Amino acid sequence: MTDFLFDVIATELEDAVGRENCSTRTIDKLTHSVDYFWLSRMWADRGLRMPEGDFIVAPKDAKETSAVLKIANYYKIPVTTWGAGGGTQGGAIPVCGGIVLDTKRMNKIYDVNTQGMYIECGTGSIYKHIEWAANEKGYATMHYPSSLTCSTVGGFLAHRGIGVSSTKYGKIDDMVLQMEVVLPNGDIIETSPAPKHAAGPDLNQIFIGSEGTLGVMTKAQMRIYEQPESRKFRGFLFHNMTDAFNAGRELLQKFKPSVMRLYDEAETASLIKKIVGVEKKGAFMNIAIEGVKEIVEVEEKLLLSTFAKYGAEDLGSEYGEKWWKEKITFFYPGHMMDIPQCFGTMDTIAPYDKIEKIYWAMKEAIETNFPQAKFIAHFSHWYEWGCMIYDRFIVDGKDVPQDPHEAFRLHQAIWNCGVRTALANGGVVNDHHGVGIKLGRLMKEQYGPAMQVFEGIKKQLDPNGIMNPFKLGL
């Protein structure tokens, strides 16, 4: 691009969003080039600069977003949407340069609607802020991922995020009613006024999980709930994972706890010991049940009797309460995996008939092919039909190649190995962190010819291919 054309585009973008909201400053380009993806962090740690956007643009609403996308389409400039940058898959990294569209100016909370039980907000709102808005009226969002404080509503929708209370309250796609979306051509649309209808396919679900490849979500109505009258915790220690899976599956045929988290022996002996203080060997499982007091009491009885059948040791409420209190502590520096380690979370999901097999297969594949890697896992989102593995590999800094390109190769190779093993055993590319640039290449391996459905939608909505190129395998 010539300097002249650069200035032409800059002035048009400034005209669209205001000069102060269109930046070419080093600090803005730099901070929008490093997200929570291991690669971008490793790169920056070694004093290298990741690909940067040319223009960092922050529209205040759908209208300004529309203007930006029209400019981008005319000049055929890539647009990468940025929420708060907490994504782990490199979905927000502007790998082709162009425009980074930061959504955080769209952070208005329009309505805390206690009649309709939703909050209407700009998708640039930090989720914790809408939780506070709900709390101020005596309600709660019940969406409590570890990234609650550092992710936007749009960010969670873009990669189909999930929180710790998912078993009872669902995933982010269960929590949204209606959305406003700006299509790549600049058209502003609204999805249906209510979800769960028969008026054709659910438009919400086309954009949720699309990671900025099909448009920009600019406004959303997110569900709120009454605060539970009672919330009780119970920690258990299982002799082995098989017993825990069977116990969990049986419990879910009876009722839905809010939190269900099973940690494998390795993670129980490391993270859980460190943060929660469980010293014993085994697989730790934490359960929370909540809601109306009388129902919680009945559920607690069912929980104890069900888990007793599988030989679980009842650790009482202390560890569970500690875990609840510390649930975000795990993710602060000093408690979490960090550079110079090489690491990744290969979360996948499958029905109960496959999930344990996937766990053992992934564990074996990683530990056999990459003996320098430690493999730990927990199972933190459970349904009546199956659950999710949150399995992680960690390579100590001393075993990570000094050459950043070689370090990257090692990282990619472990990911290929882990995800392909999951796919071969009935899992999926990812459960709730998304795909981004990190896993795009594996999407076709999961979907095969079904990938043409996504490609067709992409081609129709974004014929110039400007929206978040090379993400999601599109």
Neighbours of 426 (CB within 10 A): 17
Report in angstroms the alpha-carbon separations of 391 from 120, 198, 328.
34, 37, 18
Site for other proteins in 51-80 (CB under 8 A): 56, 58
DSSP β-ladder status, 313-316 and 230-238? antiparallel
Please state the closest distance from residue 334 (CB atom) to other proteins, in A.
4
Residue closer to other proteins (CB basis): 193 or 333: 333
Q: How many residues bind other proteins (CB under 8 A)?
A: 49
Among the candidate windows 97-105, 294-302, 365-373, 424-432, which touches other proteins by CB under 8 A? 97-105
Does the protein bind other proteins through residue 107 (CB under 8 A)? yes
Among 26, 227, 242, 452, the residue binding other proteins under the rule CB under 8 A is 26
Among 196, 197, 200, 332, the residue binding other proteins under the rule CB under 8 A is 332
Does the protein bind other proteins through residue 342 (CB under 8 A)? no
Residue closer to other proteins (CB basis): 334 or 449: 334
* Alpha carbons 451 and 229: distance in angstroms, whole number: 45
DSSP β-ladder status, 188-190 and 118-122? unpaired
Please state the closest distance from residue 33 (CB atom) to other proteins, in A.
9
The token pair at 23 is 């930046």
Binding mask 286-325 for other proteins (x = CB under 8 A): ----------------------------------------
CA 243 to chain CA centroid, Å, is 29
* Alpha carbons 33 and 46: distance in angstroms, whole number: 14
* β-bridge mates for residue 16, sequence order: none
- Residues in contact with 174: Cβ distance below 8 Å, sequence separation at least 6, in sequence order: 223
Residue closer to other proteins (CB basis): 17 or 376: 17
Does the protein bind other proteins through residue 129 (CB under 8 A)? yes
Among 31, 192, 205, 416, the residue binding other proteins under the rule CB under 8 A is 31
Quick check: bond before 351 cis, omega within 30? no
Report in angstroms the alpha-carbon separations of 60 from 57, 105, 187, 234.
10, 5, 16, 45
Site for other proteins in 137-156 (CB under 8 A): 137, 147, 149-151
* Alpha carbons 238 and 462: distance in angstroms, whole number: 50
* Alpha carbons 240 and 258: distance in angstroms, whole number: 23
* β-bridge mates for residue 113, sequence order: 118
Among the candidate windows 99-107, 244-252, 401-409, 442-450, which touches other proteins by CB under 8 A? 99-107
Site for other proteins in 109-128 (CB under 8 A): 124, 126, 128
Does the protein bind other proteins through residue 211 (CB under 8 A)? no
**DSSP state letters, 273-288:** HHHT---SSSEEEEEE
Among the candidate windows 62-70, 196-204, 237-245, 333-341, which touches other proteins by CB under 8 A? 333-341
- Which residues lie near other proteins (CB under 8 A)? 25-28, 30-32, 34, 36, 41, 44-49, 56, 58, 82, 84-86, 102, 104-107, 124, 126, 128-129, 132-133, 135-137, 147, 149-151, 328-329, 331-335, 338-339
